Amino acid sequence: MPSKPPLDATRGWIIPIGGKLFDEAILDRFVTLSGGTDARIAIIPTASSEPDIGTFYERVFLQHGVASTKALNFDDRMDCDDRDWLDWLGNATGIFIAGGNQLKLTTTLGGTPVARLMRARNAAGVPIAGTSAGAAFLSEHMIAFGDEGSTPRAGMVQMCAGLGLTNRIIVDQHFRQRDRLGRLLTALAYNPFAIGLGVDEDTAAFIGSDDVIDVMGSGAVTVVDPTDVQFSSIADAKPGDAITLVGAKVHVLHAGGTFNLETRQATGAASDATFATGS
């Protein structure tokens, strides 16, 4: 379960970004939520195989006017006990998790003081953003890997435990660009408890403490709501078999659209005709 906020705090923003971020407004908003010019941004480049990605994001955040930023290179589990880095992370006002391989995040950070501290800091009000693999890692239930394609099939996706900032969502990234509807539907078929968020590249889903998602960026967030699923064939399907799902709802929301994780209501952008679904 996610860490509980202290009595005098509200949970920080959770911000999955679908990858290939070009929209400066997304980073601007993250910096503003982190304290603006007083922001202290910790960067977690663990997922990346690019040795300079941490330095790259340090430059990016300095260009956005933050007071300080530091890449914390947790390359192996022993690094996760580094007291200086843990102190820096514990005093960060915003945390940004870079992309790459989400299994590097889980196998390196899972169960360590770093993961526990990130959960506690988010519960205490610190916003945490992740792009690409970092986006998938944010939730309790994480897509580790899977196949492309629009049709859900048994065995199409492998799940594992993520960071656990929230148990309300399952995130898939590079969504339309890599044709990942099928694997997100398969993940939800295993247990239709969470809401599926398919986040396109250059797009972010800002999830507030009120559990309302609002969308920013040039693409869309595909919301798959399995609340009213009446039938699923997953239990009897053999590996590779197509899966039947009856009653799942799908919303495609571009910038300005919202979805309430509590009420299951979706709303289009202000420039669109407004609509709502759910009870």
Q: Mind listing the pLDDT tens digit for each residue in 113-138?
A: 999 999 999 999 999 999 999 999 99
The CATH number assigned to the domain holding 245 equals 3.40.50.880
pTM equals 0.94
CA distances from 70 to 36, 63, 122, 253 (A): 16, 14, 18, 33
Q: What is the DSSP string of 256-269?
A: T-EEETTT--EE--
In a domain, 104, yes or no: yes
CB 221 within 8 A of CB 205: yes
In a domain, 166, yes or no: yes
Residues in CB range of 168: below 8 A, 6 or more apart = 139, 194, 195, 211, 261
Task: Give, rounded to a whole angstrom, the gap between the first and last alpha carbons of the chain.
Answer: 25
At residue 226, the 3 state secondary structure works out as coil
Tell me the pLDDT tens digit for each residue of 71-100.
Answer: 999 999 999 999 999 999 999 999 999 999
Q: How many domains does the chain have?
A: 1
CA distances from 193 to 169, 226, 229 (A): 9, 7, 10
Helix axes of 113-123 and 83-90: crossing angle, nearest 10 degrees? 10
In a domain, 2, yes or no: no
In a domain, 214, yes or no: yes
pLDDT of residue 61: 98
CB 40 within 8 A of CB 69: yes
pLDDT of residue 274: 46
* Cα–Cα distance for residue pair 76/79, rounded to 1 Å: 6
pLDDT of residue 278: 44
In a domain, 147, yes or no: yes
- Per-block average pLDDT, block size 10, for the chain (279 residues)? 74 97 96 98 97 96 97 97 98 98 97 97 97 98 96 96 97 98 96 96 97 98 97 95 96 97 92 49
pLDDT of residue 2: 72
pLDDT of residue 271: 63
In a domain, 6, yes or no: no
Q: Which residues are catalytic?
A: 132, 174, 201
Q: Domain residues for 255? A: 14-267
* Cα–Cα distance for residue pair 119/11, rounded to 1 Å: 10
In a domain, 57, yes or no: yes
